[in-house]
């Protein structure tokens, strides 16, 4: 079965290409998997980006929710990884970043908890919902 590729683009270390009736992701474990919308393919790659990180990582939405966390973030604990009182500031930081520019945000020490720093990428996965912030704990020990 021959399929023509009309458009191919890179996104978060993956490749999305259009095929008849949808989009495919080159890195998907099931090569036959077709996404109906490009936003769904982008979402898959955003989740994959988080999952590949050895450090805690997640996807923060405009309303302060972590819509996805990797296993390291779950093990650390959602509130310890990204305390509620810092979520608005982290998301606002993502809004100030240029396309694919990384920002940093320090999470200060709390009683009985060391501080850590977050790396932030502000990206648009689906134009209907606006930006999300991809965040991951920096593993270099900096704050």
Residue 44: burial class (beta carbons within 10 Å; 0-12, 13-18, 19+): buried
How high is the pLDDT of residue 62? 92
Sign of CA dihedral 71, 76, 78, 83: negative
pLDDT of the chain along its 143 residues, tens only?
455 557 777 788 888 888 888 999 988 888 889 999 999 999 999 999 999 999 999 999 999 999 999 999 999 999 999 999 999 999 999 999 987 789 999 988 776 666 789 999 999 888 888 899 999 998 654 44
Per the structure, the count of domains in the chain is: 2
- One domain, residues 23 and 71: no
- One domain, residues 32 and 63: no
- One domain, residues 33 and 57: no
Q: Classify residue 47: in a domain, yes or no.
A: no
- One domain, residues 64 and 106: yes
- One domain, residues 81 and 131: yes
- One domain, residues 64 and 123: yes
- One domain, residues 65 and 133: yes
Quick: pLDDT tens for 7-43: 777 788 888 888 888 999 988 888 889 999 999 999 9
Nearby residues of 96 by Cβ (< 8 Å), 6 or more positions away: 103, 122
Note down the domain range covering 15: 1-37
| Edge-to-edge strands, sheet with 130-137 | 66-69, 57-60, 130-137, 116-126, 102-107
User: pTM score > 0.75 for this model?
Assistant: yes
- One domain, residues 120 and 80: yes
Q: Classify residue 142: in a domain, yes or no.
A: no
- One domain, residues 132 and 71: yes
How high is the pLDDT of residue 143? 42
Q: Answer for the pair 66, 89: CB distance below 8 angstroms, yes or no.
A: no
């Amino acid at each position: 079965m021959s399929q023509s590729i009309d458009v191919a683009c890179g996104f978060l270390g993956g490749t999305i290409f259009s095929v008849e009736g949808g989009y495919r992701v080159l890195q998907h474990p099931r090569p036959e998997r077709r996404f109906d919308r490009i936003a769904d393919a982008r979402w898959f790659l955003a989740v994959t980006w988080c999952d590949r990180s050895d450090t805690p990582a997640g996807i923060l939405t405009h309303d302060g929710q972590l819509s996805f966390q990797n296993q390291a973030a779950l093990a650390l604990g959602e509130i310890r990884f990204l305390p509620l009182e810092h979520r608005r500031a982290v998301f606002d930081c993502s809004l100030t970043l240029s396309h694919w520019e990384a920002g940093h945000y320090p999470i200060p020490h709390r009683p009985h908890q060391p501080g850590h720093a977050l790396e932030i990428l502000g990206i648009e996965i689906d134009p209907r919902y606006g930006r999300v912030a991809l965040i991951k704990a920096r593993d270099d020990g900096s704050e």
